[in-house]
Amino acid sequence: MSRIIFLVALGVLTFLLSQSSSVSIANGDMKTKNTDMEIYYNTTSSAGSLASTVMKKIEEELEQAMINCNETYRIEMSYIEALNESGSFPDETDKTPKCYVRCVLESTGVASEDGKYDPAKTAEVFAGERGGRPMDDIQEIAAGCADRQETCKCERAYNYMKCLMETEIRRYQ
């Protein structure tokens, strides 16, 4: 059985290496021809690749923040799912999930330690789509939710996310 897994893994690795070398050769040919279209392709491909790399880094930072914050503020996955689907937690009297949200927002730079929210950073961290439609106005939504008066930082963070999610759900579903 281990030999079969090894052979499959070796086959996949060989395929991936052969694909990457053909792509490399194709890109090398494009660079030597130097037509306007090829320069455009290389430029947009590089820009797309950079954007993709930046988005991946942001996603990884968000995921790491969620993992780290869950070590301190244990939260069930059902709470995250409920927040994404309805805009609120199933039990809004429980402070732990609210403090988890505060921790994630502070860890990602969306919120400062004094409870101020950055709409531009919010749009960067929570960019995506809902209902198959790209959410291109997250910064505007976040700006409308950012002025919070709650004295408890955990309540403030939760209500910021609740405002953001409920507005996003109304607009995109």
Same domain as 98, residue 30: no
* CA 124 to chain CA mean position, Å: 8
Q: Say what the pLDDT of residue 48 is.
A: 57
Q: Which burial class, exposed, middle or buried, applies to 168 when counting CB atoms under 10 A from its CB (0-12, 13-18, 19+)?
A: buried
CA–CA distance, 119 with 39 (Å, rounded to integer): 35
Q: What is the pTM of this model?
A: 0.69
Same domain as 48, residue 81: no
Same domain as 78, residue 91: yes
Same domain as 136, residue 81: yes
pLDDT tens series, the chain, 173 aa = 322 332 333 233 233 333 333 333 343 333 333 444 343 334 444 455 666 776 788 889 989 999 999 999 999 999 999 999 999 999 999 999 999 999 999 999 999 988 899 999 999 998 888 888 888 999 999 999 999 999 999 999 999 999 999 999 998 87
Same domain as 42, residue 19: yes
Domain housing 48: 2-56
Q: What is the DSSP letter of 90?
A: S
In total, how many domains does the chain have? 2
Same domain as 70, residue 18: no
Same domain as 71, residue 26: no
CA–CA distance, 149 with 156 (Å, rounded to integer): 7
What CATH number does residue 96 fall under?
1.10.238.20
